Structure 1
Amino acid sequence: MPDEREISFKDMCARFDVTPRTLRYYEYIELISPRREGRSRLYGAREVARMTLILRGRRFGFSLEEIRQWLLIYEQKGSREQHEVWLALADRQLKLLDEQIAELQNARDDLKSLRDKTSDQVDGAD
């Protein structure tokens, strides 16, 4: 009998705006483990929380393997170890994002400079 707090596969996809293929893949690589009832998959609070963390991690640029390993740490060693690993991962990712921002800013500055020079040439040709 389904728990009232569990949600269906379809509802899980809708709640997190993911495709069924994505959700099945996350199950396949053991990021989430729904309870099965016949052919139905039911997702409880644990799976909803894990999905929230997975999608947040993806948004921050972490690989699925990094996320999987990080989630495993909680199960194997507890929250303190998980928090320490999280801080190291976050520091590394912040550095990478800062480098990407700098690269994008440089590309933007170069593009704007070239655009302005071209605009001046076009305006000067009149």
Structure 2
Amino acid sequence: MVKPVPPDAEFSIRELSQEFDITPRTLRFYEQKGMINPTRRGAARVYSAVDRARIELILRGKRVGFALDEIKEMLDLRFIDAGNPTTLHAALERFENRKRVLEQQREDVERALAEIQSGLDWLNARVTENEPSEDVKRRARAFEALAAARLEDWTGLPSS
């Protein structure tokens, strides 16, 4: 279970980099894009609990396929302004589209996993039986017949 973060907590760039397994450069990039706003103490960046939460949301958004510009827009406090229905409808449509894409990807992954499982089942059966399937035997006989005919054509000698 994740421990709640006190609202007045402060974090160094190193702490957040380690916690989220990202580079300090990534955090500086998010700062440059205006997605997080650490304060400064001399040359050091000091991140707040709000910055930490925003980083968590940025990474979650990236995992599900949102572009950074879309994530930035969603993180912007004006985004939740209920007084602007156009913004809310556009956001709603974007979320619905992303959901459809993710559902299709999930179906594709499930289909691929089923195909891989079929292949694994077939391979396990071959290992367990240690005997080639009838299809493999049939193809091997056809290949042997073809090879024998070619040898006969090349050598002029009848195959045995």
TM-score class, shorter: 0.7 to 0.9
User: How far, CA to CA, are the matches of 2:38 and 2:64 in structure 1?
Assistant: 25
Q: Do the aligned partners of 2:79 and 2:88 also contact (CA within 8 Å) in 1?
A: no
User: How far, CA to CA, are the matches of 1:61 and 1:105 in structure 2?
Assistant: 18
- Determine which of 83, 94, 97 is the counterpart of 1:92: 97
How far the C-alpha of 1:113 sits from its partner, in A, is 6.4
Q: Across the two proteins, how many residue pairs are aligned to each other?
A: 121
Is the alpha carbon distance of 1:83 and 1:44 closer, same or farther for their aligned partners in structure 2, counting shifts above 3 Å? farther
Quick check: 1:61 aligned with 2:65? yes
Q: TM-score of the superposition, structure 1-length normalised?
A: 0.73
**Structure 2: runs of 5 or more not aligned:** 1-7, 127-131, 139-160
Find runs of 4+ consecutive structure 1 residues off by over 2 angstroms: 76-90, 101-120
Q: Match of 2:20? A: 16
Q: Which has the higher contact order (CA 8 A, sep 6+)?
A: 1
**C-alpha distance after superposition, 1:51-106 (max 9, x if no partner):** 1111111122111111011122x2x3545468765543332111001222233344
Q: 2:133 aligns to what SS in structure 1?
A: helix
Quick check: 1:36 aligned with 2:44? no
Is the alpha carbon distance of 1:9 and 1:123 closer, same or farther for their aligned partners in structure 2, counting shifts above 3 Å? same
Q: Do the aligned partners of 2:73 and 2:79 also contact (CA within 8 Å) in 1?
A: no
User: How far, CA to CA, are the matches of 1:10 and 1:117 in structure 2?
Assistant: 49
Percent identity at matched positions? 32
Cα root mean square deviation, aligned: 3.1
Is the alpha carbon distance of 1:35 and 1:60 closer, same or farther for their aligned partners in structure 2, counting shifts above 3 Å? same
Larger radius of gyration: 2
Q: TM-score of the superposition, structure 2-length normalised?
A: 0.59
